[in-house]
Amino acid sequence: MNGAHARPARGEVAIEPAPGARVAEELDLRGEVCPYTFLKARLALESISPGGVLRVVVDNAASAHDVPRSLVAAGHAVLEVAPGGDGTWAIVTRRAQV
């Protein structure tokens, strides 16, 4: 999918290019499980400016799969989901402009 306004089909995560995306805040949620990982990520997004970028680190596969889908469903853009190689995933998301 291209463009910031592209919407995912049937709950899929819209991965957008992240060149030049500057992370405003990082949230380490290792040891947390869903739904807490999503809730804490959503609260952290509310604390940054619209359009700001948040990097969330999780350490379980369910969160790596569900958090991006839930953030997109909440109107935010997921820029990247990347495995860390140490059993973690980094989810980079941009807060909705609303």
Catalytic pick from 34, 57, 82, 90?
Answer: 34
Taking the CA atoms of 69, 71, 76 and 82 in sequence, report the sign of the dihedral they define: negative
Nearest partner of 55 among 85, 31, 88, 14, judged by Cα: 88
Query: 79 an active-site residue?
Result: no
The residue whose two tokens read 């997004």 is: 45
The residue whose two tokens read 């790596």 is: 64
Q: Which amino acid is at 76?
A: H
Q: Which residues are catalytic?
A: 34
